[in-house]
Amino acid sequence: MGTARERILDAAEELITAGQVPPSLEAVAAAAGVSKGGLLYHFDKQSLLRALVTRAVHRFDERLMAAAAQGMMAAAWLRLSVPTADESAVYRAIMSTMRLTTTGEFDLPGEVGDAEQRWQQMLTAELGDPVRARLVRLVGDGLFMAALTGPPPTSDEVEQLLHHLGLRTAAEQARP
């Protein structure tokens, strides 16, 4: 069992994943096993949502950095753009949280813009061409939207995209 702060973030993430966007502070406190005052000691509604987005960015960042260290960031970007069955609810929750920015209920933390710039730079470094790097980012964004709005692209379709973009496919990656 983590700290109260971690339990609160876990509870809020679970509630958002279950469709409560944004979750009420009372529901988060109850799910985390803390009083509302205990929750408010750590977060107000805005800081809770910012902490959740920042946490998601850090998780994604870790995966991309590991892939970049192997020269596979572009392929990882596209693969991570299509959620697995287990990740679907989390990706939908992320999108629901992002929608709050259009209503003025929520402003994205600066870490999001910083991460986007970092990821673009990492892609450019790997691919050697900023336009090609941007193309890979936009294809990933399209895969993400396709997965959220309809049947997600299959892993075979993603591998075909990798091939057509001149990136290493899973089959090529598995070869010694």
Domain CATH number, residue 4: 1.10.10
110 Rama sector, left if φ>0, alpha if ψ -120 to 50, beta otherwise:
alpha
Whether residue 39 is found in the same domain as residue 75: no
Whether residue 75 is found in the same domain as residue 32: no
pLDDT exceeds 90 at position 107: no
pLDDT exceeds 80 at position 92: no
pLDDT exceeds 80 at position 99: no
Alpha carbon distance 163, 28 (integer Å): 44
In a domain, 7, yes or no: yes
Whether residue 100 is found in the same domain as residue 131: yes
Give the Cα-Cα-Cα angle 41, 111, 74 (nearest 5 degrees). 140
Q: In 3D, which of 82, 76, 60, 68 has the Cα closest to residue 124? A: 68
Q: Say if residue 83 is preceded by a cis peptide, omega within 30 of 0.
A: no
- What is the structure's pLDDT at 54? 87
DSSP string, 78-128: HHHTS--TTTHHHHHHHHHHHHTTTTTS----HHHHHHHHHHHHHHHHHHS
8 Å CB contact between 9 and 55: yes
- What is the structure's pLDDT at 139? 95
The count of domains in the chain is 2
Most confident by average pLDDT, 13-27, 103-117, 125-139: 125-139
Range of the domain at 138: 59-174
- What is the structure's pLDDT at 25? 94
